Amino acid sequence: MHSSLPRGPDLAFSLPANANGILPDRMIAAMEEDGLILPAFPFVESQIQPASLDLRLGEVAYRVRASFLPGPDVTVAERIDELKLHEVDLSDGAVLETNCVYIVPLLESLALPPSILASANPKSSTGRLDVFTRVIADGTRRFDMIGAGYHGPLYAEISPKTFPVLLRQGSRLSQVRFRTGMPQLNNDELEALHQAEHLVDCENADLAGGVAVSVDLSGEGSDGFVGYRAKRHTGVVDIDRRGGYAVDDFWEPIRARPDHSLILDPGEFYILASKEAVSGAAELRRRNGAVRPIGRRIPRALCGLLRSGGSVMTGAGGQGSRAVLEVRSREVPFILEHGQIVGRLVYEKMLAPPQTLYGTRIASNYQGQGLKLSKHFRAPV
């Protein structure tokens, strides 16, 4: 079905003069109406989010020898032909194994005008399952970045890292947002926004280069519980099954230590939370190698969206929420300490207020969240 978002009297897509910001939901709908977004099948309900578009997997996954970028004048399809090992039919669902690399053509293609570029990221549920995914376009030298004026197909690179996952045609692992101009707030604009909106709930907010976000390992207010560590050698997770799995089958709870620290074991995957409650929406840029880029878009009329490193859900009410951090230590053990800064929230402007905000008509699993696993797991009783 097509998006049910209401359209204005002028159906043709156009940008205001000197436009600068992230395009909201109704403008994304207008882009599809005017052929700037080309879906193989009509959009489904909820595919258009307040400031992003969910991308759907096509019917086949190609297992390839290694990750790649096509580079200038090379298509992704040409590289797949060189590197593929075998094909996996997703039409009726199939399991993708951990630590294998797959390339899946997406059902959405783009025909962007010169004034609009796009960037992609994993959806929150994807990151919280430790499914590594990024979007590739023809002729590009960067993952998840689609240049202004791009005309062509999109592909998802997928590599489950902890749990094997069941995917099918139409599954949504990534989302894309569209921007024009330079929407990131500068330091003065960020300070003014903080004064108006109280972006973070601490007395002396560190705003230098973005709003500082630190990790909560105190266990206060949560019966000494600070996070989860993923179990190894679990069953398969169906990416489209909501509330279908018991937490204990996939996760080990982590309790606070007396010194409020946590040693991250190499190769292990953790779900932690920020010390601060954050309002609005922003991109969380990591400070060190412990916190891996992942994330969720939480658009709000005044600001932009969360890109990587965690999740924040404020919705229409403006109440702050903890950022959920998806954490790994790569080659060596790494000590995290309570209050240690793990990243900074960088805010971007919306071109216009979204038609729908999280927490109003959208029933998000992460609205008003604290420390929370992905929607696939049943809440403990």
pLDDT in tens, 301-324: 222 222 233 333 333 334 557 888
Which among 361, 25, 282, 67 is positioned nearest to 176, based on CA atoms? Answer: 25
Are residues 205 and 174 located together in one domain of the fold?
A: no
249 is a domain residue = yes
Q: Are strands 269-278 and 225-230 parallel, antiparallel or unpaired?
A: antiparallel
Q: Of 180, 215, 238, which one is at a domain's C-terminal end?
A: 180
Among all chains, which residue has been given the structure tokens 């960067």?
142
367 is a domain residue = no
Are residues 69 and 162 located together in one domain of the fold?
A: yes
What residue spans of 69-119 are helical by DSSP H? 76-83
Are residues 203 and 327 located together in one domain of the fold?
A: yes
Q: What is the DSSP string of 238-258?
A: ETT-TT-B-GGGTEEEEEPPT
Are residues 86 and 30 located together in one domain of the fold?
A: yes
pLDDT in tens, 158-168: 999 999 999 99
139 is a domain residue = yes
4 is a domain residue = no
232 is a domain residue = yes
pLDDT in tens, 107-153: 999 999 999 999 999 998 999 999 999 999 999 999 999 999 999 99
Are residues 213 and 300 located together in one domain of the fold?
A: yes
CA distance 342 to 242: 30
Q: Of 146, 180, 214, which one is at a domain's C-terminal end?
A: 180
Least confident of 44-53, 108-117, 217-226, 288-297: 288-297
Are residues 233 and 158 located together in one domain of the fold?
A: no
More confident residue, 63 or 381: 63
Burial (CB < 10 A; 0-12, 13-18, 19+), residue 81, is: exposed
Least confident of 88-92, 246-250, 362-366: 362-366
pLDDT in tens, 1-47: 333 344 444 446 888 888 999 999 999 999 999 999 999 999 999 99
Q: What is the CATH number of the domain that holds 265?
A: 2.70.40.10
72 is a domain residue = yes
Are residues 134 and 171 located together in one domain of the fold?
A: yes
Are residues 210 and 254 located together in one domain of the fold?
A: yes
Are residues 169 and 208 located together in one domain of the fold?
A: no
Q: Of 180, 204, 224, which one is at a domain's C-terminal end?
A: 180
pLDDT in tens, 178-210: 999 988 888 888 888 888 888 888 778 888 878
Half-sphere exposure for 331 (CA within 13 Å, toward CB): 1
CA distance 301 to 28: 15
What global pTM score does this model have?
Answer: 0.85
- Containing domain of residue 96, as a range? 21-180
Cβ contact 139:20 at 8 Å: no
Are residues 121 and 199 located together in one domain of the fold?
A: no
What tokens does 148 get?
A: 């202004």
Are residues 115 and 263 located together in one domain of the fold?
A: no
93 is a domain residue = yes
Number of domains in the chain: 2
Are residues 245 and 332 located together in one domain of the fold?
A: yes
CA distance 225 to 74: 49
Q: What is the DSSP string of 365-378?
A: TTTT-SS---TTBP
Please say whether the dihedral angle defined by the alpha carbons of residues 368, 372, 373 and 379, taken in this order, is positive or negative.
Answer: negative
380 is a domain residue = no
